[in-house]
A = this chain, B = another copy of it.
Amino acid sequence: MTKQRPRIVASVTVDLVVLTVRDDQLQVLLIERGKEPFLGHRALPGGFLREGEDLRQAAIRELGEETGLDGSRLHLEQLHTYAAPDRDPRGRVVTIAYLAIAPDLPLPHAGTDARHAVWTAAGPYLEGPDDLLAFDHARILRDAVEQARTQLEYTTVATAFCEEQFTVSDLRHVYETVWGYRVDPRNFHRKVIGAAGFLVPTGERRLPDLGRPAALYRRGQARLLNPPMLRAEDKRGPGITPAGPA
């Protein structure tokens, strides 16, 4: 009963949305394309799936090749798959988007084995027109950022933006930067300290340039934040949105 005639064979790529918080901005790792199509345009790092590889393995490999980051040590999560027939002029290409979250790491210098990937403020690409990025990458970036914003509400992934040791203020700064608005420091402190398994005190302290030293923490074992820390209703997008990207 399954008609086998117009079956499709497609190339499969894995594209990465690598986010970090840097210079008080939500930034994304972009590369400049060195060949057609979209030569010279900015794009998400990514590449073709290879023989014997799982999707996650491909994501980690591409991350290393194109950005020099060690994906096996980052938060890495599959997001959504894009397969519109005309999304790549070269032919039928199915792309699985992955979200990676990293602390503010130094990138290897351009000219090494890694491509010249650069941290870039995500804001303009979220608001601006789609053709600021190659292919449908603007759409993919928007979906990924919305996913990251939602995940901060329900999970403890915000710690993935932080170094191994961090303060409550560091963590709050992540929330404020990703969500794009200020969060009450007192209520935030009470919430994250009270959430079992979110933070583990290391006993150490960090001295700021000025002011009282802050206690340092490591991530706890909990992955879900329950009850969640919901964004203010009027500060996120329209209240009526489908559950996932279409």
Contact = CB atoms under 8 A, between A and B. Distances in A.
A11 B7 contact: yes
A10 B9 contact: yes
A94 interface: yes
Interface residues of A, number: 56
Contact of A65 (B1, B7, B48): B1
Given A1-B115, A34-B1, A240-B197, A83 B49 contact: yes
- Most chain B C-beta atoms within 10 Å of own C-beta, residue among A12, A51, A53, A241: A12
A207 interface: no
Contacts of A11: 7-10
Contact of A80 (B6, B49, B78): B78
Contacts of A221: 240
B240 A8 contact: no
B197 A223 contact: no
Nearest to A116: B1
20 contacts: A1-B65, A1-B113, A1-B115, A2-B47, A6-B51, A8-B12, A8-B50, A8-B53, A9-B10, A9-B11, A12-B83, A12-B94, A52-B85, A53-B85, A54-B83, A54-B85, A55-B81, A197-B240, A221-B240, A228-B228
Given A8-B48, A155-B243, A222-B240, 15 more contacts: A1-B66, A1-B113, A1-B115, A2-B47, A6-B51, A9-B11, A51-B85, A52-B85, A54-B84, A54-B85, A157-B243, A197-B240, A224-B239, A224-B241, A226-B233
